[in-house]
Chain A
Amino acid sequence: MTSPVLPLLSVRDLVVRYPARGHSGIPMTAVRGVSLEIAPAGIFGLVGESGSGKSSLAHAILHLSPPAGGEVLFRGQDLAAMKPSQLKAARRNIQLVFQDSLASLSPRRSVLQTLLEPLDHFRIGNPATRAEKAAMALETVGLDPALRHRYPQELSGGQKQRVALARALVAEPDLIIADEPLSSLDVSVQSRIIELILELREKLGVAFLFVSHDLSAVQRLADTVGVMYLGKMVESADTDTLFERPAHPYTRSLMAAVPVADPSHPRPAVLAGEPPSPLTPPSGCVFHMRCGDKIPICSTVVPNETFVCGETGMCEDSRRFKTISHRVRCHLWNVTKT
Chain B
Amino acid sequence: MNPPVLSIRNLSVSNRRTKQPSAVVQQISFNLNPGEVLAVVGESGCGKTKTAEAIMGLLPRDGWSVQADAIELDGSDLAKLPESGLRRVRGRKISMIFQEPLTALDPVFTAGNQLASIFRRHRGKTRSEAYQCSMEMLSKVGFADTRNVLKSYPHQLSGGMRQRVMIAMAMACRPRVLIADEPTTALDVTTQAQVLDQLTRLGQEYGTSILLITHDPGVVAQYCDRALVMLEGRIVEDANVRDLFARPQHDYTRRLLASVAGVGSG
A residues apposed to B, CB below 8 Å: 49-51, 157, 186-191, 213-216, 219-220, 243, 253-255, 257-265, 267-271, 274
Contacts and interface: CB of A to CB of B under 8 A. Distances in A.
Contacts of B261: 216, 219-220
Nearest to B200: A267
B89 interface: no
Q: Give chain A's interface secondary structure class.
A: loop
Given A260-B263, A260-B265, A186 B215 contact: yes
Nearest to A216: B263
Contacts of B191: 49
A262 B188 contact: no
A230 to B, nearest CB: 13
B218 A263 contact: no
Nearest to A213: B188
A260 B262 contact: yes
Contact of A219 (B158, B221, B263): B263
Given A187-B216, A260-B222, A269 B263 contact: no
B197 interface: yes
A279 to B, nearest CB: 13
A265 B245 CA distance: 12
A187 B41 CA distance: 11
Given A186-B43, A263-B241, A263-B242, A258 B218 contact: yes
Contact of B263 (A188, A215, A263): A215
A261 B193 contact: no
Contact of A265 (B44, B188, B221): B221
B114 to A, nearest CB: 20
Nearest to B188: A49
Given A259-B219, A263-B242, A263-B245, A254 B189 contact: yes
B203 interface: no
B215 A258 contact: no
A188 B256 CA distance: 7
Contacts of B223: 259, 267
A267 B37 CA distance: 15
Interface string B20-31: 000000000000
A142 B197 CA distance: 40
Contacts of B193: 257, 259, 268-271
Given A216-B260, A216-B263, A265-B221, 9 more contacts: A49-B189, A187-B215, A216-B262, A254-B190, A258-B264, A259-B192, A261-B220, A261-B265, A271-B194
B265 A262 contact: yes
Given A267-B197, A268-B222, A262 B262 contact: yes
Contact of B197 (A186, A243, A270): A270
A149 to B, nearest CB: 22
Contacts of B257: 261
A243 B263 contact: yes
A255 to B, nearest CB: 6
Interface of B: 43-44, 158-161, 188-194, 196-197, 215-223, 241-242, 245, 255-257, 259-265
Given A259-B216, A261-B217, A261-B221, A187 B260 contact: yes
Contacts of A190: 259
Contacts of A263: 221-222, 241-242, 245
Contacts of A188: 43, 255-256, 259
B160 A257 contact: no
B25 to A, nearest CB: 18
**5 closest residue pairs by CB, A with B:** A259-B218, A261-B217, A49-B188, A259-B222, A268-B193
A253 B221 contact: no
Nearest to A268: B193
14 contacts: A187-B216, A187-B259, A187-B260, A191-B259, A215-B263, A255-B263, A259-B192, A260-B263, A261-B265, A262-B262, A263-B221, A263-B241, A271-B194, A274-B161
A55 B257 CA distance: 30
Contact of B160 (A191, A214, A259, A274): A274
Nearest to A262: B221
A17 to B, nearest CB: 21
* Interface-central residue, A51, A255, A258, by most chain B CB under 10 Å: A258
A262 B262 CA distance: 9
B216 A265 contact: no
Given A49-B188, A254-B189, A257-B192, A243 B221 contact: no
Nearest to B246: A263
Nearest to B224: A263
B197 to A, nearest CB: 5
Nearest to B225: A263
* Interface-central residue, A49, A219, A259, A274, by most chain B CB under 10 Å: A259
Contacts of B43: 186-189
A202 B128 CA distance: 65
A157 B45 CA distance: 11
B197 A261 contact: no
B6 to A, nearest CB: 23
Nearest to B143: A274
* Interface-central residue, B189, B196, B245, B256, by most chain A CB under 10 Å: B189
